[in-house]
Amino acid sequence: MAAVNPYLNFNGNCEEAFNFYKSVFGKEFQTFSRFGVEHRAEGEENKVMHVALPLSKGSFLFGSDRPAQYGPGELGNLFFVAIEAESEAEADKLFNGLSKGGQPTMPMNKAPWNAYFGMLTDQYGVSWLINYDYAQPS
């Protein structure tokens, strides 16, 4: 099956956001590149062209700054980044880390589908679902 990896766009603060995510997930960037002079208009050379942050189980969080020629992006609530934790402790760590400066919308708690689950919007307007399934496949 193909992997599904969220790709986030930012209005010039991608590097700040991904440094925050790096601190929460405790991983190093696999890829980090800037637009440079040859790829964008003057003044956009230092914007992030592409960043890849490995999460777990072969999944990544990708991101970039939105080039000015496309106009500013708008914050929305039509998507979530869903993270499958490996334990309740990891779920709590991720939820608490991502909530800093953001807004928890559903605290971590036992869910009716035999899981430990919570929802939040981080300080950059990105909505997250954190889930730990009690019935792990063997």
Kindly report the CATH number assigned to the domain that includes residue 106.
3.30.720.110
CA distances from 93 to 36, 71, 96, 106 (A): 36, 35, 5, 15
Task: Return per-residue pLDDT of the chain as tens, 138 residues.
Answer: 456 689 898 999 999 999 999 999 999 999 999 988 666 667 888 999 899 999 987 889 999 998 888 788 876 666 789 898 999 999 999 999 999 999 999 999 999 889 999 999 999 989 899 999 998 655
Asked if residue 138 is part of any domain, the answer here is: no
DSSP state of 67: P
Q: Using CB atoms within 10 Å of the CB of residue 82, give its burial: 0 to 12 exposed, 13 to 18 middle, 19+ buried.
A: middle
Residue 90 pLDDT: 94
Asked if residue 2 is part of any domain, the answer here is: no
Residue 100 pLDDT: 96
Residue 112 pLDDT: 86
Residue 1 pLDDT: 43
Structure tokens at 124: 């950059």
Are residue 63 and residue 90 in the same domain, yes or no?
Answer: no
Q: Are 121 and 106 in contact (CB under 8 A)?
A: no
Which value, in Å, is the radius of gyration of the alpha carbons in the chain? 16
Which residues form the domain of 25?
7-67
Domain count, the chain: 2
Distance of alpha carbon 121 from alpha carbon 105, whole angstroms: 7
